[in-house]
Amino acid sequence: MSEALTNRQYHPRTDISCRLIAYDERSDVSVFLSDLGRVIVHDGHAMSSRTIAEPEQDLRDWLPPGQYDLAMSALRRYSDLY
């Protein structure tokens, strides 16, 4: 029996499930909705990710209008927060 399977530890920063809700190819920005209801923006150029506290306001700075609309539609559909 593998000890790795029996002693697995949960790491909250890496062991999350996310749904991709928007992507802007031009700026290489991906927006995810985590299984915990957090909205996470990944900037591919800077290779950084951050959690967005106010998606309705903050995502306007990250996404062009069409992708912003898709992200907000997905948040309403998949999140209990909207």
pLDDT in tens, 31-81: 999 988 899 999 999 999 999 999 999 999 999 999 999 999 999 998 776
The pTM assigned to this predicted structure is 0.77
Residue with tokens 């992200």: 71
3 state DSSP class of 36: coil
Residue with tokens 């997905």: 74
- Residues 6 or more apart whose CB falls under 8 angstroms from that of 27 comprise 43, 45, 62
